[in-house]
Amino acid sequence: MKEIKKVTWRSPSNIALVKYWGKKSGVQIPANPSISFTLQQCYSETSVALVEKEGKSKEIELRFYFDGKANMAFQLKMLKFFESVQSDFPFLREYGLLIHSTNSFPHSSGIASSASAMSALAIALCDLKQQLSGKNWSAEKFLQKASYFARLGSGSASRSVYPLISEWGKAKTVKGSSDEYAIPFAKHLHKTFHTYQNTILIASSSEKKVSSRIGHSLMKTNPFAKTRYAQAEKNLKEIIDALKKGDLEKFGNILEEEAMTLHALMMCSTPSFVLMAPSTLTMIEKIRRFREESKLPVYFTLDAGPNIHLLYPKAVAKKVDAFIYDELEQHCEKGKMIHDNVGKGPVKVKA
Ligand code: PMV
């Protein structure tokens, strides 16, 4: 199989501070705006190689390998995504596609990989498009395009293409915001947050109880949906103020309110889902007690699952690490945790 061109990109996961939960009509249009920290250690690395086609048909020819092994389930998802964007990337039909992807974090760690995987793939496609056309977008436009296409694969992936922090979703108070792509936000970020720590405490690594696709759709009939969307707008405005000023207490209070609201929304959906594990609650209690006693700015957030993201400034990392190992490690599944931090965004990997 003759290789014509190949690109490899590494793109990180992200953790939402104000959560995206619920969609408007249209393709992956969020019901409310969201904002997230880009992570550093949790990433996907994806290479897309264009090869000579085996057959003469116009069908997309794709082979997908995850961790070096053929993976049919992911391949089918990717094929659906490629079919939806083929008019923007004509080379998807002109060549055969050989795709290899790996994650830096273990597959069964309960860490959502769609944000890193879809953003890595979208950036690789945009890179190939530029190379094949010989026309370059500006660096800013390139990332906006990548964010747009990442969004079509997984909403939260749109936010992974920018360093440190990014905002996605039309918000009255955020200039330049859009439902179609995320925007960079780092220039507004107080320096304390540039090195913020995010330790992921693995309460359980079992499969997700509910897919985010179903989770989003449950908001259509959730009796609190309207109130939630208004709360998200308000929380976004306020957390941005805290992020600019470096107001850690205000930041942390909104962070925890967002996490608890996301889980409360799932509990009062029909059908109802409890996404925390018993150890999630035990750890939350301990974190709040530690904060009260130590007066350190240690706050948590949660994704749509049982694992805790503990956020704190680098300056207090030593003391917080001691607390993590003394008090929280015992509640993590097999003691598993990932030490991550706010990160630099996607990078191209040299061949
Ligand atoms: O991108 P999706 O469709 O997997 O949805 C992600 C939703 C949350 O992770 C729960 C929140 C968010 O904004 O990332």
Average pLDDT over residues 16-29: 97
pLDDT of residue 55: 80
Q: Is the pLDDT of residue 241 over 70?
A: yes
Residue 324 Cβ inside 6 Å of ligand 1? The answer reads no
How far away, in angstroms, is 115 Cα from ligand 1 center? 8
Q: Where are the domains of the chain?
A: 3-189, 191-341
Residue 212 Cβ inside 6 Å of ligand 1? The answer reads yes
Average pLDDT over residues 147-175: 97
Query: Distance between CA 254 and CA 251 in Å, rounded?
Result: 6
How far away, in angstroms, is 330 Cα from ligand 1 center? 28
Residue 19 Cα: closest atom of ligand 1:
13
Q: Is the pLDDT of residue 109 over 90?
A: no
The residue to mutate among 35, 181, 212, 273, having the most atoms of ligand 1 within 8 angstroms of its beta carbon, is 212
Residue 116 Cβ inside 6 Å of ligand 1? The answer reads no
Average pLDDT over residues 260-273: 98
Same fold, 3-189 and 191-341: no
> Residue 235 — pLDDT band, cuts 50, 70, 90?
very high
Of 111-120, 163-172, 275-284, which gets the smallest average pLDDT? 111-120
Q: Is the pLDDT of residue 266 over 80?
A: yes
Residue 267 tokens, joined: 């509990």
Q: What class does CATH assign to 191-341? A: alpha beta
Q: Is the pLDDT of residue 289 over 70?
A: yes
Residue 156 Cβ inside 6 Å of ligand 1? The answer reads yes
As a CATH number, domain 3-189 is 3.30.230.10
Q: CA Rg, the chain, in Å?
A: 20
> Residue 282 — pLDDT band, cuts 50, 70, 90?
very high
Q: What angle do CA 8, 13, 16 make, to 5 degrees?
A: 150
Predicted TM-score (pTM) of this structure: 0.97
Residue 154 Cα: closest atom of ligand 1:
1
Which residue, judged by its Cα, is nearest atom 6 of ligand 1? 156
**66, 102 contact by CB (below 8 A):** yes
Residue 14 Cα: closest atom of ligand 1:
14
Query: Distance between CA 6 and CA 173 in Å, rounded?
Result: 41
The residues that bridge with 246 in the sheet, in sequence order, are none
